[in-house]
């Protein structure tokens, strides 16, 4: 059986901590507190709680060095962002993914380089004839009248 990593599901607060862990590569609770305590209004205990959850979710691993715990990312930022996006898309009808992406493009602030990169992806994209609705009847309008 193929080893498909289960989707990483982290809360908004945990994301804030993860962004610091990804940026620093390896870090301590004190360093994260220095970065986030003021802007988030968090106490050191809050950050330790969040780190504990992230370790439990296996998105962060930790090692003890003397009295300190060093935290390392166990998953990449790219892979976590992708997993969150796939999770979001799994909540909408497969037939509506395209219009959702078009809407995201409309809403996004983009540079010319971003636009060039999106256009390059679109030029390479092989369209399919039709997309099957993957919803439970009653969860979208596609299957309402079947």
Q: What does the binding site for Zn ion look like in residue numbers (CB under 5 A)? A: 93, 133, 135, 140, 142
Cα–Cα distance, 113 to 95 (Å, whole number): 29
Beta strands in the chain (DSSP E): 60-65, 68-73
For Zn ion, give the closer residue by CB, 29 or 93.
93
For Zn ion, give the closer residue by CB, 53 or 95.
95
φ/ψ of 51, rounded to 5, equals -60, -40
33 close to 47: Cβ distance less than 8 angstroms: yes
- Kindly state the smallest distance separating residue 49's Cβ from Zn ion, in Å: 39
- Kindly state the smallest distance separating residue 83's Cβ from Zn ion, in Å: 22
For Zn ion, give the closer residue by CB, 70 or 135.
135
């Amino acid at each position: 059986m193929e080893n498909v990593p289960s989707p990483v599901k982290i809360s908004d607060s945990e994301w804030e901590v993860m962004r610091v862990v990804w940026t620093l590569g390896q870090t301590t609770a004190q360093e994260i507190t220095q970065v986030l305590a003021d802007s988030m209004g968090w106490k050191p205990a809050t950050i330790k709680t969040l780190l504990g959850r992230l370790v439990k979710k296996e998105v962060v691993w930790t090692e003890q060095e003397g009295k300190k715990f060093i935290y390392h990312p166990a998953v990449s930022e790219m892979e976590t962002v992708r997993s969150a996006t796939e999770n979001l898309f799994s909540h909408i009808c497969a037939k509506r993914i395209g219009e959702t992406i078009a809407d995201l493009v409309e809403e996004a602030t983009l540079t010319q380089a971003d636009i060039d990169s999106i256009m390059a992806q679109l030029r390479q994209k092989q369209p399919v004839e039709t997309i099957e609705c993957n919803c439970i009847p009653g969860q979208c309008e596609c299957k309402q009248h079947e």
